């Protein structure tokens, strides 16, 4: 569930201070976050009531569409901005690259100050580091899967006469189609198709 809360009589206008708030469940309230953002001079607030782990957060999406260069986005804490560390950092990067100032009230971050810009730079480096770690973990998992016999990509066809003979012999010996297909490195559908064609020949 999302909503926009506007405490001004007009639109966002130039150099607007726009807030974003989020709570995970309907039993929680946005009052504390809204009060902190109003004290920080926010005049329009977008909010979501849902877990940060969810991708579909219409309030945040509306915020990203609304902000313009020169605007300031104010949040209670940086963790309100994303479902995980990488997503938070990528959201921060997307905002700063568009010329939007980011202020986190609780974390004491203000990207319009030298210290704030330094912090944003560190966060950007962390995001890149996190992406590299994900790539490395993915590559290691694929390598381990290959070592365990898992094959990636489209299964190859049964074309080698030796493999065909092996399949027939294993079938006659009582091996299951699953075991035969795994042994030959082909899909069971390919194996069934060959055996059907062979029986009809």
Judge whether 136 lies within some domain: no
Judge whether 52 lies within some domain: yes
pLDDT confidence of residue 26: 63
Pairing of strands 17-23, 44-49: parallel
Backbone phi, psi, residue 21, to 5°: -130, 155
3-state secondary structure of 146: helix
Rounded to two decimals, the pTM is 0.56
Beta bridge partners of 18: 44, 73
Same domain, 104 and 178: no
Residue of 40, 43, 39, 51 whose CA lies nearest to 18? 43
Q: Is 24 in the active site?
A: yes
Q: What's the domain count of the chain?
A: 2
Do 3 and 37 meet the contact criterion of CB atoms below 8 Å apart? no
Same domain, 74 and 12: yes
89 lies in which domain range? 2-131
Number of H helices and E strands in the chain, helices first, is 7, 6
DSSP one-letter code for 107: T
CATH number at residue 77: 3.40.50.1390
Residue of 32, 30, 67 whose CA lies nearest to 48? 30
Beta bridge partners of 75: 20, 104
Beta bridge partners of 48: 2, 22
Same domain, 44 and 121: yes
Same domain, 104 and 6: yes
Gap between the Cα atoms of 140 and 75, Å rounded = 37
Same domain, 182 and 126: no
Same domain, 15 and 106: yes
How far apart are the two ends of the chain, measured CA to CA in Å?
Answer: 62
Judge whether 183 lies within some domain: yes
* pLDDT by residue, tens only, the chain of 201 residues: 555 555 444 444 568 999 999 887 765 788 889 999 999 999 999 998 876 556 678 899 999 999 999 999 999 988 888 777 778 888 888 898 899 999 999 888 898 899 888 887 787 677 677 777 778 888 888 777 777 766 655 555 545 666 677 778 888 888 888 888 887 777 888 777 767 666 555
Judge whether 188 lies within some domain: yes
Q: Which of 9, 10, 15, 24 is catalytic?
A: 24
Gap between the Cα atoms of 130 and 136, Å rounded = 10
Token output for 18: 């726009």
């Amino acid at each position: 569930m999302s909503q926009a809360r506007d405490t001004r009589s007009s639109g966002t206008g130039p150099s607007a201070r726009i807030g974003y708030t989020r709570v995970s469940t309907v039993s929680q309230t946005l009052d504390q976050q809204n009060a902190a953002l109003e004290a920080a001079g926010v005049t329009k607030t977008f909010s979501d009531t849902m877990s940060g782990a969810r991708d579909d957060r219409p309030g945040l999406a509306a915020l990203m569409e609304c902000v313009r260069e020169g605007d300031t986005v104010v949040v209670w804490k940086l963790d309100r901005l994303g479902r995980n560390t990488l997503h938070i950092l990528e959201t921060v990067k997307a905002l700063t690259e568009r010329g939007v100032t980011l202020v986190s009230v609780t974390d004491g971050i203000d990207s319009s100050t030298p210290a704030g810009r330094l912090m944003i730079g560190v966060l950007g480096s962390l995001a890149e580091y996190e992406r590299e770690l994900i790539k490395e973990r993915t590559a290691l998992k694929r390598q381990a899967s290959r070592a365990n016999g898992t094959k990636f990509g489209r299964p190859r066809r049964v074309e080698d006469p030796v493999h065909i003979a092996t399949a027939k012999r294993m079938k006659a010996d009582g091996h299951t189609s699953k075991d035969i297909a795994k042994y030959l490195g082909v899909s069971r559908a390919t194996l069934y198709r060959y055996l059907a064609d062979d029986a009809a020949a």
